[in-house]
A and B are shown apart, each in its own frame.
Chain A
Amino acid sequence: MSADSVSVTGWGRTAPTNARLIRPRTHEETAAAVRDGGARGSIARGLGRAYGDSAQNAGGCVLDMTALDQVHSIDSYAGTVVCDAGVSLHRLIEVLLPLGWFVPVTPGTRYVTVGGAIGADIHGRDHHGSGSFSRHVSSLELLTADGSVRTVERGTELFDATAGGMGLTGIVLTATVELTQVRTSLMTVDTERASDLDDLMARLTAGDHQYRYSVAWIDLLARGTSMGRSVLRRGDHAPVDALPARARREPLVYRPRRLPSAPALVPERLLGRGSVGLYNELRYRRAPRARTGELQKLSTFFHPLDGVPHWSRAAGRSGIVPYQFVVPYGQEEALRRIVGRLSERGCPSVRAVLKRFGEGDPGWLSFPVPGWSLALDLPARMSGLAAFLDELDTEVAEAGGRVYLAKDARLRPELLATMYPRLDAFRALRAHLDPRGVFTSDLARRLAL
């Protein structure tokens, strides 16, 4: 280790560690980098959108995979694409949308790579119908610890360990992804307000099946009778005849808006209880009580924050601690309790998203299980936050739920096996496939994955 080591953090910008950052340009260079990775191993990294320490490897080697960014082939009849793992969803959308295809699943940002999407087995607003990203991957090429490249088909053990495996089974080199057909690049969006948490859950339960995409923003600072008040946004890809005459000429045009970056230094207290409370109040009141059929750009509907590069800087120097958990259906009481505690404590989370998940995904460490998922971002400097989140973990685990590893930077390792019952199988497979620990990360060390 010498001057060539650089500081690496996740999107939340907490817990930086140093590693050698290598940017391989070919599959051979990737294999060579892994072979020469040294005693502290290697881990693949994409666009660094995972909040926690999953794409960090202190003292070891971090492989920046974004130079492997070729889209190899598109089958525009069957709707599949074969591409390198370093290709971002942004690039895929740019390439595929004019052909009438869209990525099967997109999270709240399109700046994630295909490799990262598989490693974290990301989910999106269509999870209740479509499941997680890996369900739409039919096969992938995986560089494993012995230096060989294996073709891994969906449905095999290695595939299920790799989907959601946080990059610890090997490095995904290419993937075949099944796409979603669209007619236009616009969305028809229905918006409604829910006056409290129960109202919200009732509306989501009653109406989600009518929409492909569904998500609700919660005002976590609202208390008392309006606790859990929220704005639901649900929609679908717009058919051509829903478009105004002018837009029909170019139905698949894709021009996302881009604003200037967030400044590098933001005062720590910008996102406090007062400012976020005011923002939440305005956001709730500005939302229409009920509106149907609004046309929105894809980027506005799916990726509102991608317009501002480096938005996570807005939390200031100490960074963001995200928290996302899911509790199974039937545990609504636990969700109510947790939302109650968050609002009682006054957690200034600008983003707080409630989503109903569909069927669980086959990945051994995949996050989604059928139930209610709540995601929020908290400023790391909040006092007493560490102990508070530990208490929430206990509630989540007792309710049979789990927290999302791609957003974790702080979970108590003891709880992991309770939350992820397939953990032992995952550990056994890793011990067999990678006995020397060629692939490891800060997350793997912290949680003994």
Chain B
Amino acid sequence: MKDAFGTPQSLLVLGGSSEIALATARRLIARRTRTVWLAGRPSPALEAAAEGLRALGADTRTVAFDALDTESHAEVLGKVFAEGDIDLVLLAFGVLGDQDRDEADPLAAVRVAQTNYTGAVSAGLICGTALQAQGHGSLVVLSSVAGERARRADFIYGSSKAGLDAFTQGLGDALHVSGVHVMVVRPGFVRSRMTAGRPDAPLATTPEAVATAIELGLRRRSETVWVPGTLRLVMSALRHTPRALFRRLPV
């Protein structure tokens, strides 16, 4: 059960080797979290991540989960929920893709869309239903500022996150009366493995900062969290910029 400050005791991470997710897990383990499920494609990195969380004192288990294999989601996630209540589901999987290559290779682009959007729709709905049956819990979905307005530089990734973002908002409204809290997290540029080698964008942030924002959002039962918070204003301005001008902006 979550306590009065929204801190969960059990956590399910979808995308178990995500740096943001692991930073969040570490933060929550320092508070109340004692049970962690890391769901992801089996890999040494996933096992190492689980080992790291075990060292912090959490009972951590890994489970084989592939965002692209939507057929298997119900079975895999059903098993996790059957083991006990999950207070927080952190939907953290996603791929950035390579814009230039993906534009030339539609199949690669489709894989980005399927991972980030279709996979999340399937997993989100399954987890939403399971949380609803529990009568409590939070579903935190990592979206991105890139989904707020599509840019020339990363519109394949951006459009998949736009879809995910819209889906999550709708799911949150659908689950609102059922006691399940759904939160969209929109980080800006996060310095991590996923963005390694790319130049920092303005207002770049870190996985730890995102984790802090998630913990605060859980306490406040926020529905939307921007990291850093100033991005909310920046993106609000960008959203209203005319296309002709937006196209020319160096963003």
Contacts and interface: CB of A to CB of B under 8 A. Distances in A.
Interface of A: 1, 3, 5, 7, 12, 14-19, 40, 52-53, 57-60, 318-319, 321, 380-381, 385-387, 409-410, 412-413, 442, 445-446
A410 B4 contact: yes
A412 B32 contact: yes
27 contacts: A1-B133, A3-B177, A15-B2, A16-B179, A17-B1, A17-B135, A17-B136, A18-B135, A19-B135, A40-B135, A52-B4, A53-B1, A58-B179, A59-B133, A60-B135, A318-B220, A319-B4, A321-B4, A380-B4, A380-B219, A386-B5, A386-B219, A409-B3, A410-B5, A413-B9, A446-B1, A446-B3
A188 to B, nearest CB: 39
B6 interface: yes
Contacts of B6: 15
Contacts of A19: 135
Contacts of A413: 9
A59 B4 contact: no
B43 to A, nearest CB: 33
A15 B4 contact: yes
Given A1-B132, A59-B136, A17 B179 contact: yes
Contacts of A409: 3-4
A14 B134 CA distance: 18
Contacts of A385: 5
Contacts of B31: 386-387
> Nearest 9 pairs between A and B by C-beta?
A18-B179, A59-B135, A409-B4, A58-B135, A14-B4, A446-B1, A58-B136, A17-B136, A18-B135
Nearest to B7: A386
Interface of B: 1-7, 9, 31-32, 85, 132-136, 177-180, 219-220
A380 B5 contact: yes
Contacts of B9: 413, 446
A14 B136 CA distance: 13
A403 to B, nearest CB: 13
Nearest to B179: A18
Contacts of B179: 5, 7, 16-18, 58
B3 A58 contact: no
A14 to B, nearest CB: 4
A334 B5 CA distance: 26
A410 B133 contact: no
